[in-house]
Structure 1
Amino acid sequence: WCIYPMYDFAHPLSDAIEGISHSICTLEFEDHRPLYDWLLEAVGFDAATRPRQIEFARLNLTNTVTSKRKLRQLVEEGYVSGWDDPRMPTISGLRRRGYTPAAIRAFCREVGVAKANSLVDVAMLEHCVRDDLNNNADRIMAVLRPLKVVITNYPEGQKEYMLAENHPFKGGHRYVPFTRELYIEQEDFMEEAPKKFFRLKPDGEVRLKHGYIIKCDEVVKNEDGSIRELRCSYDPESKTGGATANRKVKGTIHWVSAEDAVRAEVRLYDYLIETDEKGEVPADFLAAVNKDSLEVLHDALVEPSVRLTGEGTHYQFLRQGYYVVDKDSTPEHLVFNRVVGLKDSWAKAKKG
């Protein structure tokens, strides 16, 4: 009996029988090529028409494992919720995370094909995703960690609608409700602010995006010292078209109407694997699993315009990043996944 390694025997024969011209493999199969060629010659396939094996370097990403065995281990041992977990580098995981086909194709073109093993910074993939979504995702306002604002000199019960731009390049508009009680981001207010803090602070002014200029007059606190709400006043003439519309203030912040905002669950994803300074995954990759790779915010607030939005719809949350509607979302319970933040470290590195 002549015993052949099953894969090395089946691989060239199936290629030749099926009429394959080029068999593309990763570099670990380079040592197998002499056997591949010998077997086809020994069986009698014509040298002019038989397939050729060509090797290329596999795509290795920082903060990422791509081994099927390791990915299966992450799923089976409960480190992720399944094969389509948005932290997984699977097709279903990338799709659920909100990475678009166009962005992935752009990334592949940028990386190219190499013969030498290398490690690609995952920030390069994020740059391609960010670039695609910047051109295609509509803008909305969402407050992830709400802080209540009461505009004391705005008439109770009154509501007006602010004209807001959907996209800076593609155009389109929507109307955003404005009321006496609003919510802003907690981080957009600081009681003891440094000199270059250009957001809201006691006796300070900011412009509400698409709306009025407001001034913080009073900070209302709970018994434990935490801030319950801000009491502010607004400049009625600072809206577009008003007498003081062009009055300059250094800060502009986003907001949502307390009466009309839709509560949403927002899932903030980070890298699943922590790597060393070179970006390489250690041999004991399970010990490098980032326990803080998912943060879930249950009380985020978004504009009412997204109430009936469908799974897979992308948005840029102004000043926050790019988000996609998750498959778990329903009209009664909106769920968003963070796709990628606004900061583009890869683009800055390229310019440098």
Structure 2
Amino acid sequence: MDKPLKILHTEAAKGFGGQEIYIYRHMLAMRERGHDVSLLCQPGARLGEMAREAGFTVHALKMGGLLRMLRGIWSVSRLVRRHTYDVVNTTSRRDALIAAAGARLGGAPLVVRSRHLMSPVNSLLTYTGLPHRVLTVSSFVKQLLVHRGIADDRIGIVPPIAVPPQWSQATSDDAWQCLQDTRAEVRRELGFSDDQVVVGCVAVLREAKGHADLLRAIAPLCRQHPNLQLVIVGDGAPVMERLTALRAELGIAGQVHLLGYRLGACRLMTAFDIFALASHKEAAGTVFLEAAYVGVPIVATRVGGVPEMLVEGSNALLAPLGDQAALTAALQTLVEQPERRRQMGQAGWDWMRSAHRFTPTGHTEATEYYYHQWLKELGHGKR
């Protein structure tokens, strides 16, 4: 590896979702590789609290309003000069405006803007005017940025990290047996018997995650198969209320379990026979990798970067967005064919044990490649 880098990551959001999980896992992996990694975030941000607990240096900066933005730019420029960061990597629009501008004023050799979303880019300022380069999570999002006018050769792709369960580090046979033991244990905890077919979904409760679509698609199957159960893990008050009402309206309240937020979602997924998520948009989707890691076949919508996070036809069946009949058919195939479930679950398990790019090592190698390449292109040589 080239000389370790001194890196400052920035994030304006106070909540903790997929983007923040990506940053946190990234910071842990880069530190493990020997890099000096710090974080700049708003006071009270959950990401900041977790990073501080993990031993990272965390700088707090309020980022709302024009006056705070101007003060923030000056504060970041001084921070960059004082710590002589090699790379300042911004994430959201607000922190990109402040930190990228401050980093450029402070003389940071490389300023990067990360993009974790597939929603439209309104302003190019935080992608072309302020940062030197852009990192994103999938080829799909990269193409969106290229179509928006960002040069192809200024964009790199670093997929998310899928954290493997502890037992996956064992030999293949031991790990598979450990998975089966955990599955039986978790199913007992959740109150499911061996003869029940459990379809599970793990995602924050937002309209764009398509939970209502999933309920409507699985409803006719629930009526045909009394042993079929749907488990939804995730929180979000407005959507939770609508799902509670919808399951009653569809007549499947007894077969739909809304568990809310739960720690250890990857462990919970071992209890599933099928993982299902009917997202309307998804830049990547780490949860699909985690489902594959625990040997669970997947049903999903063919949107965004989802096809890059699984192997269609091998460990996953995909349905077109908005096609409820196709989604029902995909679910029905796996609900009614236990041997197909087993084969696809095994295929996902085998694939994730060889998919290097989703491991912490593969992730950091890709990140290092882009950072060092871009530093060289910008005239700073190897750091």
TM-score by length of 1: 0.25
**More RCO (CA 8 Å, sep 6+):** 1
Larger radius of gyration: 1
The structure in which a higher percent of residues are strand is 1
The structure in which a higher percent of residues are helix is 2
